């Protein structure tokens, strides 16, 4: 295996090579890949050669663009890094984008914005688009347009047999790949729909600790009144006392209501009026903005860090559910974490090609612990899932970090309906019977 480097156009690293640590590092620092070989792919033929090499030697294959969604690290085997595959081609006539596997959301947003168009991206500009879409893609305007995975036109995929496949909606693998992470191969490119959105009304309203519970209750009631063009989230967070955080928010425990509205400034002001009646704001930056500035709405951390997370898809958000959540996560509670609750429904209910279930959910609650949670994180996240169980109809695999072993397998299965999961395990047995692609929320081959 010493001649592996001669097989690729891109760089190859082994553990003793300079640059190895930097190549395997990702945004999520709670886990670290420790592969035997790293292939810095330049194109789909590099990916194909890496998969064929792994198959010949019986090695597992992992894939990483940015490492935001890393939940299972590979130990040994082959890691394919796709960050160099960052090509973007926008067709304004068909309102589509063709992208490589390493494209980040911010780069795609900027490229589309030059044509008055927008992708169905999420809150962070540094997230890899392919990983985000394969996880479903719950975007800033999700209630208006639905899941990003339902707006894919074509997939270029390298499967376990080394074939480079071009998949469309009529292909069996198309729906299996979308919504299941990297279980069926290495996606080397996507063709995506873009939407004609050049600017939106959005931003945050932030309320101090004494108003947190009132803000949660008011937001919950308000979401029952808003149109599909408005997608919102409420986050409860204790901000660190560090310079990147606005001085007015440092060290404070707050509720932050984040809004993205595809409408005019006048309409937006009318819709947020009830929220302003909650009380005085520590911070507010609602405004009409170019779509390219939408990353400022959530202000996700731009630096790599460790985190664990769980989530619950809810049919309804009851006062009892909010109380149970707050009892666990309020300052001094069992779980030191950020609560993030997103309003779903509207276009997200519509069926599509992606293997995404529980589309009747009205809310998703996401709970994220940071480095300070330490060894207590798994127990705390399990307590959150138990507290929300009476209202939970399913889970999203796109926002689930920190399990392992049997718990990991059970949580993966819980991300789908029984029928969908059986179909996916059967497809896995057909296209990846040796489970080469298992460094992920793994769907094991069915019998």
Q: End of a domain among 81, 112, 147? A: 81
What SS3 string covers 186-224?
EEEEEEEECECCCEEEEEEEEECHHHHHHHHHHHHHHHC
**Does residue 155 form part of some domain?**
yes
368 and 248 within one domain: yes
∠ at Cα 109 (128, 298), nearest 5°? 75
Query: In this structure, what CATH number is given to the domain that contains residue 46?
Result: 3.30.43.10
290 and 341 within one domain: yes
142 and 246 within one domain: no
User: Taking the C-alpha atoms of 44, 50, 53 and 58 in order, what is their torsion angle to the nearest 10 degrees?
Assistant: -120
Q: What are the Cα distances from residue 441, in Å, to 181, 194, 437?
A: 7, 28, 10
> For residue 371, what are the domain limits?
199-403
Burial of residue 18 (CB within 10 Å: 0-12, 13-18, 19+) is exposed
Q: In what order do the strands lie in the sheet with 37-40?
A: 12-13, 37-40, 78-81, 61-64
352 and 230 within one domain: yes
Query: In this structure, what CATH number is given to the domain that contains residue 105?
Result: 3.30.465.10
289 and 267 within one domain: yes
Q: How far apart are CA 349 and CA 361, in angstroms?
A: 8
Q: End of a domain among 34, 53, 81? A: 81
379 and 258 within one domain: yes
**Does residue 439 form part of some domain?**
no
What pLDDT shows up at residue 402?
67
189 and 239 within one domain: no
Mean pLDDT by 10 residues, the chain (447 residues): 76 97 94 95 98 97 94 92 98 99 98 98 97 97 98 98 97 96 97 99 98 98 99 94 84 96 98 99 97 95 88 96 93 89 98 93 93 70 93 92 65 93 97 96 90
Query: In this structure, what CATH number is given to the domain that contains residue 237?
Result: 3.40.462.20
Q: How far apart are CA 245 and CA 145, in angstroms?
A: 31
**Does residue 51 form part of some domain?**
yes
What pLDDT shows up at residue 3?
64
Could you give the 3-state DSSP secondary structure of residue 67?
coil
330 and 241 within one domain: yes
**Does residue 446 form part of some domain?**
no
297 and 376 within one domain: yes
Beta strand 61-64 with 78-81 is parallel
Which positions ≥6 away from 277 have C-beta within 8 Å?
218
**Does residue 21 form part of some domain?**
yes
Please report the DSSP string for 314-333 in residue order. Answer: ES---HHHHHHHHHHHSTTS
**Does residue 339 form part of some domain?**
yes
217 and 292 within one domain: yes
∠ at Cα 181 (81, 4), nearest 5°? 30
CB 446 within 8 A of CB 429: yes
**Does residue 242 form part of some domain?**
yes
**Does residue 431 form part of some domain?**
no
What sign has the CA pseudo-torsion 444, 168, 147, 401? Answer: positive
Q: End of a domain among 162, 196, 230? A: 196
List beta partners, residue 369: 308, 337
Number of domains in the chain: 3
369 and 288 within one domain: yes
**22: phi then psi, degrees, rounded to nearest 5:** -65, -35
223 and 235 within one domain: yes
């Amino acid at each position: 295996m010493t001649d592996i480097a001669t097989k690729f156009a891109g760089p190859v690293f082994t553990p003793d090579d300079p640059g190895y640590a930097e190549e395997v590092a990702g945004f999520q620092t709670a886990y670290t890949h420790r592969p035997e070989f790293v292939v810095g792919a330049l194109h789909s033929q590099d990916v194909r050669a890496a998969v064929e090499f792994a198959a010949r030697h019986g090695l597992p294959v992992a894939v990483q663009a940015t490492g935001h969604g890393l939940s299972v690290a590979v130990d040994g085997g082959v890691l394919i890094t796709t960050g160099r595959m960052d090509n973007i081609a926008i067709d304004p006539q068909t309102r589509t984008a063709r992208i490589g596997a390493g494209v980040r959301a911010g780069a795609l947003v900027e490229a589309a914005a030059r044509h008055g168009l927008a992708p169905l991206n999420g809150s962070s500009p540094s997230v890899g688009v392919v990983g985000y879409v394969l996880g479903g893609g719950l975007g800033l305007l999700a209630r208006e347009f639905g899941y990003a995975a339902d707006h894919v036109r074509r997939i270029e995929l390298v499967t376990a047999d080394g074939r480079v496949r071009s998949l469309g909606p009529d292909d069996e693998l198309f729906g299996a790949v979308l919504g299941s992470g990297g279980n069926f191969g290495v996606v080397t490119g996507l063709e995506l729909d873009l939407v004609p959105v050049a600017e939106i009304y959005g931003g945050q309203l932030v309320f101090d600790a004494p108003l947190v519970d009132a803000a949660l209750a008011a937001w919950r009631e308000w979401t029952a009144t808003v149109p599909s063009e408005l997608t919102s989230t409420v986050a409860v967070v204790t901000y660190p006392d560090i310079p990147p955080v606005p001085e007015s928010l440092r060290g404070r425990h707050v509720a932050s209501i984040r809004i993205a509205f595809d409408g005019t400034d006048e309409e937006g002001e009318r819709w947020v009026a009830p929220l302003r009646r909650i009380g005085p704001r520590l911070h507010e930056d609602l405004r009409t903005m170019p779509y390219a500035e939408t990353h400022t709405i959530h202000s996700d951390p731009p630096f790599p860090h460790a985190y664990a997370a769980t989530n619950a898809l809810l049919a309804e958000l009851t006062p009892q559910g909010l109380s149970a959540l707050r009892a666990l996560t309020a300052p001094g509670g069992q779980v030191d974490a950020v609560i993030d609750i997103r309003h779903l429904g509207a276009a997200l209910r519509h069926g599509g090609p992606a293997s995404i279930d529980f589309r009747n959910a009205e809310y998703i609650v996401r709970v994220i612990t940071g480095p300070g949670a330490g060894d207590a994180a798994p127990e705390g996240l399990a307590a959150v899932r138990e507290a929300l169980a009476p209202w939970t109809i399913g889970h999203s695999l796109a926002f689930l970090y920190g399990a392992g072993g049997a718990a990991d397998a059970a949580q993966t299965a819980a991300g789908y309906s029984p029928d969908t999961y059986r179909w996916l395990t059967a497809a896995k047995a057909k296209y990846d019977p040796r489970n080469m692609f298992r460094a992920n929320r793994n769907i094991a081959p069915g019998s």
